[in-house]
Chain A
Amino acid sequence: MSVMVRSKINGDDIEFVCQPDETLLDALRDRAGLTGVKEGCGTGDCGACSIMLDGALVCSCLVLGAEAEGRSIETVEGMANGDQLHPLQQQFLQHAALQCGICTPGFLIAAKALLDKNPDPSEEQVRYALAGNLCRCTGYDKIVRAVLAAAKQMRKA
């Protein structure tokens, strides 16, 4: 038996139908067409599927699609404001904080979750806040620099 789910995704009212045992990750990708949300492990270990659910950072592979009923979701697709990239997106580009880019959507969401709470994090705070997101290409150096630079840019704005 499928379930009908009504939620707010990136500010829009979206309805989708999914199986009761289907993950929110699969529902977002396969039902709502938001393939910017990536699956790296399916067990909550890699953070590639990170989204904001009612303002909380979660791995969407650990949430059921049906649990999104009546709730608000933010994904990487909603980060930019029209043609204006979010400062994190700008700084990731500027600092070459991505190589293959598969982990990037998850990192951007996790970094945004951090900066929403802490606009002036230390390097160590950035590193611990992003410890749930795996990147195999960069060694994290340029990612951390990009997040610190974005924080600075956002504080100035």
Chain B
Amino acid sequence: MGKDTAFKEREFSAVGTRPLRPDGIDKVTGRARYGADFNMPGQLHGCILRSPHAHASIKNIDTSKAEKLKGVKAVVTRKDFKAKDVDPSLLTVLDNCMAGKTAFYDGHAVAAVAAIDARTAKKALQLIKVEYKVLKHVTDVDEAVKPKAPLINKKCFTKGVDPVPAKASNIAAVSEFGHGDVEQGFSEADIIIERNYKTGQAHQGYIEPHACVASYSPDGSADMWVCTQGHFDFRAQCAGILGMDASKLRVTSSEIGGGFGGKTHLWIEPVTLALSRKANRPVKLVMTRDEVFRASGPASATSIDIKMGVTKDGTITAAHAELRYASGAYEGGWAKLGAMTAFACYDLKNVKTIGYEVLVNRPKTAAYRAPSAPMAAFAVESMMDELAEQVGIKPIDFRLKHVAKEGTRSSYGPVYGPIGIGPTLEAAKNHPHMKAKLKANQSRGMACGFWFNFGGQSCSDLNIEPDGSATITVGTIDVGGARASLALVVAEELGIPYQQVKAVIADTGSLGHNDMTHGSRGTFASSLSAIDSCRQAIQELCKRAAILWDIDPEDIAWEKGEAHAIGKSKGNLPPLSLVNLAQSAEKTGGPISGHSQIVADGAGVSFATHICDVEVDQETGQTKIARYTVIQDAGKAVHPTYVEGQFQGGAAQGIGWALNEEYIYGEDGRLQNPGFLDYRIPVCSDLPMIDTQILEIPNPNHPYGVRGVGETSIVPPLAAVGNAVSAAIGVRMTQVPMSPPRILAALDAAESQ
């Protein structure tokens, strides 16, 4: 409370430069340790047995033969998680990590083994006999909402409707947003278009599978090494599931090989800890890629109905969306996010969105980069193009005509402060890409996107080392360059070279709670805390200089890494450097440090506009991305190269979602493509260079103007590619991925009409 976080215009010396990242050498020489690279003495190999059925009652699990196998040290089922130990709010998290009475999806964990080696553990899994009673299943989101659909949870009575329904259904919750009167709005429209859009289920596709090592000690304390986006949250949840005090569990995060939201949830960690507790030995458990696809959490599959009305002169009079998001077998808040973000780019008089959280027999949906926003944007941005065409206005001008700005009431409720959607659209309009002539076989599309960005709890320590360098210790995971950004921020604040700052990620025993790296909060929140720590340290440094000079601390100013005496008669004292102060610390009061504990709020919402050129082969249905440009507001780019990297990476993921990626289920409810061969993410030869333009519209709630940048870039691509492909083939594509068979089918359907 009371921290000065207001933006102040300033000249930067370190922030905005592009130095090498401090963890880079370890990563190009193979020394960096990721989740699967940790080992413990006496460590056992953990393995999980998973349901082969999409939906089944578990009648009995016989583990006796597995337990008797030589080399098996522990077998764990749901019985090993005592109900009285489990925090009730974490019951569904546990149920997903280890099934209770029902297996809800193909891949749902039902038992686990720890043995002396992988061979023995795998053999033991085959000896576990599970008696299933197969139940009817439903994997499709539109099928699941039908009245006669197989019921997934008998206690699921739709929340958010009044009165609460008497009959259970697969709709877990309904949420509604908007303002104005849409019925009135539609009555004023000259043209009304209604359309259904569908998006396939996409996985985050991080290259590093989930991995962890757990070591439970007989004294009831435990250590865990894990690849995670939030080790403090993992600690709290694992402890809550195993009935431990959180303080007894120390979690150390490894380097993380990609997460994108998928490593904000627990999957194997409580199971590994339970195995270690039972075996009294450290246990290492690493998911296979097949398990990652079947049993970690992809994004929702969706079906979205949009209805929009427009007058002949091109004014939108009403916008309505019903969004059905599949959340797996457990209630999620994913449709709610879709409903909030769908129309957030626009200034609309009458708008209403309704989100339906739908249960299906698929893995539990997890966050995926700007969760739920890309699907809603696909529907809305496709419709925006269609409306623009109907009224004869260029897509970019139609968007500019309705763009949200400061003072606009957002579709999710509040009135906007200063925002960047207008500037990204103006930049797109003036971008050479938008003006470039298309080749004969090429078409162009564009789309906008929105995401909220978060802040959250953050804690950091700034230590002045004996050699006069500084170490910043934070507890928010570095998923892709945050240590470089934080070192830049500390260098800026202390006025010392970047090379003299070391950034470290602490374990849960070494620092107060830090929220996980999600919601694009990493650099925003950690840098706020780091700046605060630096300012505390500077106060202390000035105090130390005052002691050495025997003057009043008020007569000292901190400039360019040195203490300067100011005021009359003191101006001739030579400045004291960090090295001077560090070396004399012993005699002036001991080690010098700064500490910060904050709730970093006010991250500031984020917008982007993307432009995409495609070539579609009408014989094969294959789409090639010929050119792609990302324009996004970063507030202030601390390390512009890594900001560009976030823009490019998000765009590539969105392009994959648009063209290829989706979970394919068979009639039997089993996932048919749980591998990178058949779940095809973009490869190097699929993509062109991805051009970026960083806009810097300062966030008023950060001293340097920083906003989050990590997520928004995945929001526009589905529609940007969709609009380009639709223009190329002359048929409106309403379903992603626009895989070759879907494009050929759309062409065939158009031809037969």
The answer to whether A and B touch directly, with their CB atoms under 8 angstroms apart, is yes
Closest to A102 in B: B257
- Asked if B344 lies at the interface with its beta carbon under 8 angstroms from chain A, I say no
Instruction: For the complex, give the distance between the alpha carbons of A128 and B683 in Å.
Output: 9
Q: Chain B residues near A136 (CB, 8 Å)?
A: 204-207, 258, 260, 649, 652-653, 681
A40 in contact with B209 (CB, 8 Å): yes
Q: Chain B residues near A102 (CB, 8 Å)?
A: 34, 206-208, 255, 257-258
Take A76-B29, A92-B28 as given contacts and tell me if A127 and B684 are in contact as well, using a CB distance cutoff of 8 Å. Answer: yes
Take A40-B208, A94-B20, A99-B642 as given contacts and tell me if A133 and B28 are in contact as well, using a CB distance cutoff of 8 Å. Answer: no
The count of residues in chain B whose C-beta lies closer than 8 Å to any C-beta of chain A is 58
Instruction: For the complex, give the distance between the alpha carbons of A19 and B652 in Å.
Output: 40
- Asked if A68 lies at the interface with its beta carbon under 8 angstroms from chain B, I say no
- Asked if B70 lies at the interface with its beta carbon under 8 angstroms from chain A, I say no
Nearest Cβ distance between residue A6 and chain B, in whole angstroms?
A: 22
- Asked if B24 lies at the interface with its beta carbon under 8 angstroms from chain A, I say yes
Take A36-B31, A102-B258 as given contacts and tell me if A127 and B685 are in contact as well, using a CB distance cutoff of 8 Å. Answer: yes
Closest to A103 in B: B207
- Asked if B12 lies at the interface with its beta carbon under 8 angstroms from chain A, I say no
Residue of B30, B205, B675 with most chain A CB atoms under a 10 A cut-off: B30
A98 in contact with B207 (CB, 8 Å): no
A45 in contact with B675 (CB, 8 Å): yes
Nearest Cβ distance between residue A13 and chain B, in whole angstroms?
A: 20
Instruction: For the complex, give the distance between the alpha carbons of A119 and B366 in Å.
Output: 44
- Asked if A4 lies at the interface with its beta carbon under 8 angstroms from chain B, I say no
Q: Chain B residues near A56 (CB, 8 Å)?
A: none
B15-29 contact mask (Cβ, 8 Å, vs A): 1 or 0: 000101101110111
**For chain A residues 75-104, which have a beta carbon within 8 Å of chain B?**
75-77, 79-80, 85, 89, 92-96, 98-104
Q: Chain B residues near A19 (CB, 8 Å)?
A: 119
Secondary structure at the A interface, as helix, strand, loop or mixed, is: loop
Residue of A42, A105, A131, A136 with most chain B CB atoms under a 10 A cut-off: A136
A96 in contact with B642 (CB, 8 Å): yes
Closest to B691 in A: A141
- Asked if A108 lies at the interface with its beta carbon under 8 angstroms from chain B, I say yes
Nearest Cβ distance between residue A117 and chain B, in whole angstroms?
A: 17
B632-645 contact mask (Cβ, 8 Å, vs A): 1 or 0: 00000000011011
The one of A41, A85, A99, A135 that contacts B289, using a Cβ cutoff of 8 Å: A41
A79 in contact with B29 (CB, 8 Å): yes
Take A139-B651, A143-B684 as given contacts and tell me if A100 and B206 are in contact as well, using a CB distance cutoff of 8 Å. Answer: yes
- Asked if A73 lies at the interface with its beta carbon under 8 angstroms from chain B, I say no
- Asked if A138 lies at the interface with its beta carbon under 8 angstroms from chain B, I say yes
Q: Chain B residues near A34 (CB, 8 Å)?
A: 30
Instruction: For the complex, give the distance between the alpha carbons of A79 and B29 in Å.
Output: 7
A85 in contact with B25 (CB, 8 Å): yes
- Asked if A14 lies at the interface with its beta carbon under 8 angstroms from chain B, I say no
B690 in contact with A139 (CB, 8 Å): yes
The one of A26, A96, A128 that contacts B21, using a Cβ cutoff of 8 Å: A96
The one of A93, A99, A144 that contacts B20, using a Cβ cutoff of 8 Å: A93
- Asked if B479 lies at the interface with its beta carbon under 8 angstroms from chain A, I say yes
Instruction: For the complex, give the distance between the alpha carbons of A127 and B688 in Å.
Output: 9
Instruction: For the complex, give the distance between the alpha carbons of A29 and B37 in Å.
Output: 8
- Asked if A46 lies at the interface with its beta carbon under 8 angstroms from chain B, I say yes
**For chain A residues 129-148, which have a beta carbon within 8 Å of chain B?**
130-145
Nearest Cβ distance between residue B83 and chain A, in whole angstroms?
A: 36
Residue of A75, A77, A93 with most chain B CB atoms under a 10 A cut-off: A93
**For chain B residues 625-678, which have a beta carbon within 8 Å of chain A?**
641-642, 644-646, 648-649, 651-653, 675-677
Nearest Cβ distance between residue B35 and chain A, in whole angstroms?
A: 9
- Asked if B33 lies at the interface with its beta carbon under 8 angstroms from chain A, I say yes
Nearest Cβ distance between residue A120 and chain B, in whole angstroms?
A: 18
Instruction: For the complex, give the distance between the alpha carbons of A36 and B685 in Å.
Output: 25
B683 in contact with A96 (CB, 8 Å): no
A144 in contact with B689 (CB, 8 Å): yes
Instruction: For the complex, give the distance between the alpha carbons of A45 and B256 in Å.
Output: 20
Q: Chain B residues near A118 (CB, 8 Å)?
A: none
Q: Chain A residues near B685 (CB, 8 Å)?
A: 124, 127-128, 130-131
Residue of B32, B288, B642, B687 with most chain A CB atoms under a 10 A cut-off: B32
- Asked if A72 lies at the interface with its beta carbon under 8 angstroms from chain B, I say no
B684 in contact with A100 (CB, 8 Å): no
Q: Chain A residues near B286 (CB, 8 Å)?
A: 39
B27 in contact with A45 (CB, 8 Å): no
B30 in contact with A77 (CB, 8 Å): yes
Closest to B628 in A: A139
Take A42-B289, A101-B32, A127-B685 as given contacts and tell me if A138 and B649 are in contact as well, using a CB distance cutoff of 8 Å. Answer: yes
A96 in contact with B481 (CB, 8 Å): yes
Take A77-B30, A141-B690 as given contacts and tell me if A134 and B683 are in contact as well, using a CB distance cutoff of 8 Å. Answer: yes
A96 in contact with B641 (CB, 8 Å): yes
- Asked if B480 lies at the interface with its beta carbon under 8 angstroms from chain A, I say yes
B585-622 contact mask (Cβ, 8 Å, vs A): 1 or 0: 00000000000000000000000000000000000000
Q: Chain A residues near B259 (CB, 8 Å)?
A: 100
Nearest Cβ distance between residue B28 and chain A, in whole angstroms?
A: 4
Residue of A76, A98, A123, A133 with most chain B CB atoms under a 10 A cut-off: A98
**For chain B residues 467-487, which have a beta carbon within 8 Å of chain A?**
479-481
A140 in contact with B642 (CB, 8 Å): no
Instruction: For the complex, give the distance between the alpha carbons of A133 and B722 in Å.
Output: 26
Closest to A145 in B: B689
Closest to B655 in A: A139
B28 in contact with A139 (CB, 8 Å): no
The one of B642, B652, B684 that contacts A131, using a Cβ cutoff of 8 Å: B684
Q: Chain A residues near B642 (CB, 8 Å)?
A: 96, 99
Closest to B204 in A: A136
B670-709 contact mask (Cβ, 8 Å, vs A): 1 or 0: 0000011100011111110110000000000000000000
Q: Chain A residues near B29 (CB, 8 Å)?
A: 36, 76-77, 79-80, 85, 89
Q: Chain A residues near B18 (CB, 8 Å)?
A: 96
Residue of B18, B23, B255, B480 with most chain A CB atoms under a 10 A cut-off: B480
A89 in contact with B689 (CB, 8 Å): no
Instruction: For the complex, give the distance between the alpha carbons of A103 and B644 in Å.
Output: 19
Interface contacts beyond A38-B36, A89-B29, A133-B683: sample of 12 additional A-B pairs, CB < 8 Å, sorted by A: A40-B209, A45-B675, A85-B25, A93-B24, A96-B641, A99-B481, A102-B206, A128-B684, A131-B683, A136-B205, A139-B687, A142-B644
The 3 nearest A-B residue pairs measured at CB: A36-B30, A102-B257, A139-B652
A interface residue numbers (CB < 8 A to B): 19, 26, 29, 34-43, 45-46, 48, 75-77, 79-80, 85, 89, 92-96, 98-105, 108, 123-124, 126-128, 130-145
B interface residue numbers (CB < 8 A to A): 18, 20-21, 23-25, 27-34, 36-37, 118-119, 204-209, 255-260, 286, 288-289, 479-481, 641-642, 644-646, 648-649, 651-653, 675-677, 681-687, 689-690
22 A-B pairs within 8 Å (CB atoms) are namely A36-B29, A40-B208, A40-B257, A77-B30, A89-B28, A93-B25, A93-B28, A95-B641, A96-B18, A96-B642, A96-B644, A98-B27, A99-B645, A99-B649, A101-B27, A101-B257, A102-B34, A136-B204, A138-B645, A139-B652, A140-B682, A142-B644
